[in-house]
Structure 1
Amino acid sequence: MMLFTEVRGLPVVPLAGAGPLGTVTSLAVDVASGTVSHVLLRRGRFGRETALPWESVHAIGPGTVRVRSATAAESVPPRHDLLGHRVLTNTGTAHGTVLDVAFDTRTARILAVFTTRGELPAGRLLGLGDHALVVRAG
């Protein structure tokens, strides 16, 4: 298990080849499947953000994200960073703000979402948009 905040800022390094490809800026989530779908990274301070599909990740840790391939995703996911997102239930009740997300580094499965109002199990995730993360009312 690892937290999104632990991955942010890690260097992305290819299994074979030269130095780092960039630094992790965020992880994109497919809420429907409850998994991390892409690793978003930036090369240098002013570099363009690139999305690598999760399938290209070989391992995370210690201190790096190692990838099999540096081939960017053909379709880049919408830029929704879960961290700091407002959380609403499907009935419209506010449930705080996302502080962190725990996920399995081998399967990319989301395990839990930690908010300012407590922990939410991954099974309650319904949708993610510009405005909020929507979860099933519990």
Structure 2
Amino acid sequence: MMLFTQTRGLPVITADAAEPLGRVESLTIDAHTASIACLRLSGAPKHAAVIAWHAVEAVGRDAVIVRSRAAAGPGQGGLPTHHEALGHRVLTELGTEHGTVKDVAFDHTSGHVHTLYTALGEISGDRLLGLGSYAVVVRTETA
């Protein structure tokens, strides 16, 4: 498992040419699949500022490796709109507040969101329903 906070700032390089593309600025979550949809980079050329998760070879403590510059290039249509998860409030579908997102744990291989860490405790990534500009929305916990 990796945390969003551990991933931010990591250099992103290509596997084929060891070419630096930029640094991880943020991760975009696809709430429908409860997984990482793409990386958003800072310091990257415009064509490589967004990299779809399927282009990622590996995520480690020191760097993120993508297959190639071509895999990181344009043509990333169909990605969800980016909304930052960290720092946003968490609400259940019934409107009950559950603090703010402090961190997100995800599988560094598949990109599956495992856990949302909030100010009021942990929430399984499987409960994720939506992510917008106002809040992260999760299913109410069943008894």
TM-score by length of 1: 0.91
Q: Distance in 1 between matches of 2:99 and 2:73?
A: 36
Counterpart code for 1:51: V
Aligned to 1:88: 91
TM-score for the superposition, normalised by structure 2: 0.88
RMSD: 1.6
1:10 partnered with 2:10: yes
Q: How many residues align?
A: 136
C-alpha contact 1:51 1:76 (8 A) present in aligned 2: no
CA distance in 1, matches of 2:126, 2:18: 40
Deviations 1:24-57 (A, max 9, x none): 001100111111010110116xx75821100000
| Unaligned 5+ runs, structure 1 | none
Cα distance change of structure 1 residues 76 and 123 upon mapping to structure 2, 3 Å threshold: closer
Distance 1:103 1:60 in 2: 11
Q: State the alpha-carbon separation in 1 of the partners of residues 92 and 51 from structure 2.
A: 30
For 1:136 and 1:109, the matched residues in 2 are separated by 17
- Confirm whether residue 20 of structure 1 aligns to residue 4 of structure 2: no
Contact 2:37 2:79 (C-alpha < 8 Å) held by counterparts? no
Q: Is the 8 A contact 1:25 1:40 kept in 2?
A: yes
Deviation at 1:79, TM superposition (A): 2.1
- How many percent identity over aligned positions? 44
* Structure 1 stretches of 4+ moved >4 Å: none
Give me the whole-angstrom Cα distance separating, in 2, the residues matched to 1:19 and 1:55. Answer: 18
The CA deviation string for residues 87-134 of structure 1, in whole angstroms up to 9 with x for no partner, is 011111111000000000111111110000000011211111110001
SS in structure 2 of the partner of residue 6 of structure 1? helix
Q: Distance in 2 between matches of 1:17 and 1:108?
A: 24
Q: In structure 2, how many angstroms separate the alpha carbons of the residues matched to 1:126 and 1:75?
A: 19
The answer as to 2:121 corresponding to 1:122 is no
Classify 1:22/1:34 alpha carbon distance in 2 versus 1 (closer, same or farther; 3 Å): same
1:67-106 equivalent positions in 2, closer than 5 A: 67-68=66-67, 69-72=71-74, 73-106=76-109
